[in-house]
Chains A and B, each alone.
Chain A
Amino acid sequence: MENVTLKLNGETRSASVPPETTLLRLLRDQFNLTGAKLGCDVGDCGACTVIVDGKPVNSCLMLVGQVDGREILTIEGLATADHLHPLQKLFEHFGSLQCGFCGPGVIMSAKALLDENPDPSTQEIRDALGGNLCRCTGYTKMIEAIKGASCILRGEEVPAGKSA
């Protein structure tokens, strides 16, 4: 068994699991954080995207040994008791998610992008989402929401697009 200690959504957590356990399984089965999804388990679809030490990763491709001592942010760590994160608020407002399965992964990729680039262009947003497959939405309303969220985070008004 492998002992891991990590900072998960701001709190220190530990677990003792077989070494071949992926970060995805650790999150879903050990810590009951089922936001990150299993879409393919081999890093092709991005439904398992979480943020590790500030970088978006496919959690199905990381083994627990690789996250020992690191800081992990999952979808469950975005909102607070008082507020939805602007990404969550605008994804809801613009109808950016349909079946929702790819949602947590897409939002985490977007969060990682906005943390690094507070004013991304449409192309930069498309690049950031390139590893997140979505079959329902065609990505259009996601890009609109991410652009809007970047405005909110910069303290600017969200432009009234067609979805407003």
Chain B
Amino acid sequence: MKRRGRGMACMWYPIGFTVAANPSAAVVKINEDGTATLLTGTVETGQGSLTILAQIVAQELGIATDDVHVVSADTDSTPMDTGAIASRTTYVTGNAAKMAAEKAKLTLFEVAAPLLGVKPTQLEAQDHKIFVKGFPQRNMHIGDVANHARVVSGQPPIGSASFNPETLALDPETGQGKPFGTYVYATQIAEVDVDDETGEVEVVRIVASHDCGTAINPMLVEGQVEGGVAMGIGFALEEEMLFDANGRHINPNLTNYIMPTSLDTPDIEVDIVDSYDPTGPFGAKGVGEPTLVPTAAAIANAIYDAVGVRIMSLPATAEKVFKALQAKREQQPKQIGAGVPQNGGANGKPAVQ
């Protein structure tokens, strides 16, 4: 019989390396028509970082995402980057890209200021224009300014910058210190059906509420949460690398290393928490790793809610849950005809037969 249960788990997770320097550098070049190129040493590994960086640069320059071309991942031509690791790209490389874009933008302001009859500090960039703060009618198209910068002023707008989160080393005796620039927080709630005869667990629903600071691109944040939750389901229920007594791998293949397919993952409901981090680019933090952190705990708690057994080691395979159920039944004194409810419980779970 299938019993339904729900469980929650919350978590916190840091952005960047523990104490150690993990800088990123970036270069932004503004083209003569007002579009731009970003050079970054980061590597796109699927998470969509290059799109996020383009959006950050575009925002700073007041142009559109599609106006920014990103060149990445070549040690000859792109500046250093500590890498696509520790959920740091949006925060660290993003800050570097934003600062580099700002420097290039300031060159444009210096060029535009005399043309508009103001000081550079009076200018803003938005909607493809450079205009006077508080008097947007006085403006120039960013392409015109960029072209003027090159052919008349001889000041090509190029900005280069680097960023490293501020940390404080941990005391070796007490571990006290400031290891990270910022942290993200999240809660996931899982609903599962547990077959109390076979121990099989099916994840029916996952609600994931994640903080990422400002969501630079909500669609990509959702993608990260959905993917992370799927990985979390695998960690909770299916995946395990097995070794024999001699230390040789038993299941080094996808036939016997079970990981989630489209049949194992439910629809994942993603919620992005309203949040803003002043130390991040436009308030952004990061999201890559946190997405799978609470999933296994939420599922394990849901299993307990469903059938009253607490799985203390992962993965919570059917065999493990089955054995735990058996052990529980053996411990309980037999109750024949004792007052068991005939209706479903508050959560709509089926009655005990």
Contacts and interface: CB of A to CB of B under 8 A. Distances in A.
Question: Do the two chains touch directly in the complex (Cβ atoms below 8 Å apart)?
Answer: yes
Interface of A: 40, 42, 44-45, 94-95, 98-101, 122, 125-127, 129-143, 162-163
B231 A135 contact: yes
Nearest to A125: B262
B286 to A, nearest CB: 16
Interface string B20-46: 000000000000000000000000011
10 nearest CB pairs, A to B: A99-B46, A138-B226, A138-B230, A44-B254, A129-B262, A98-B46, A140-B226, A126-B262, A139-B262, A95-B219
Interface residues of B, number: 25
B268 interface: yes
Nearest to A99: B46
Nearest to B257: A44
Nearest to B231: A135
Contacts, number: 82
Contact of B268 (A42, A125, A138): A138
Given A95-B223, A139-B226, 20 more contacts: A42-B255, A95-B219, A95-B222, A98-B47, A98-B223, A98-B227, A101-B46, A126-B262, A127-B263, A130-B263, A131-B261, A134-B230, A135-B231, A136-B46, A136-B47, A137-B227, A138-B227, A140-B226, A140-B265, A143-B262
B97 to A, nearest CB: 20
B253 interface: yes
A42 B256 CA distance: 12
Interface of B: 45-48, 219-220, 222-223, 226-231, 253-255, 259-263, 265, 267-268
B222 A100 contact: no
Contact of B227 (A44, A122, A132, A136): A136
A108 B231 CA distance: 24
13 contacts: A40-B253, A94-B219, A99-B45, A126-B262, A127-B263, A130-B261, A135-B259, A136-B47, A137-B223, A139-B230, A140-B222, A141-B222, A162-B222
B172 to A, nearest CB: 38
Contacts of A142: 262
Contacts of A141: 222-223, 226
A162 B271 CA distance: 11
A98 B49 CA distance: 10
Contacts of B262: 125-127, 129-130, 132, 134, 139, 142-143
A94 B223 CA distance: 10
Interface centre among B45, B222, B227, B262 (most CB of A within 10 A): B262
A137 B267 CA distance: 12
A133 B219 CA distance: 21
Given A40-B254, A95-B219, A163-B219, A135 B227 contact: yes
A45 B255 CA distance: 9
A126 B265 CA distance: 9
Nearest to A94: B219
A129 B261 CA distance: 8
Contacts of B255: 42, 44
B220 to A, nearest CB: 6
A163 B229 CA distance: 18
A140 B46 contact: no
